[in-house]
Amino acid sequence: QVQLVESGGGLVQAGGSLRLSCAASGRTYSSYTMGWFRQAPGKEREFVARIRRISGNTDYAESVKGRFTISRDNAKNTVYLQMNSLKSEDTAVYYCSATAGTQNYWGQGTQVTVSS
């Protein structure tokens, strides 16, 4: 089992940057594909970015391409989401996820608020 704890959210002005962190517990952390999702008020949770477990290849939602970067440090059991050029529409609760086969785990979420 994997437990995920996000941090790094907060209030930032439009155009600013934030870096989210997701600390994972569990010996098999490196075997999971790690991802970030977000959910804005009144909207469904949506995919933001993922980094694959073996290749390290990354995927991004079109809305964040070129602005967000996902990375992982397997030695620290941590995945990061560097968010630059933030927009008001990026305001949401951001969730970390860990996926391997049919197993999927979620963190508790961290609030990101971008003021315009």
Question: Which residue from 87, 78, 86 is spatially nearest to 107, judged by alpha carbons?
Answer: 78
95 close to 20: Cβ distance less than 8 angstroms: no
Task: Give the pLDDT confidence score for residue 27 in this predicted structure.
Answer: 63
Taking only the tens place, the pLDDT of each residue in 7-44 is 999 999 999 999 999 999 876 667 789 999 999 999 99
Taking only the tens place, the pLDDT of each residue in 51-63 is 997 788 999 999 9
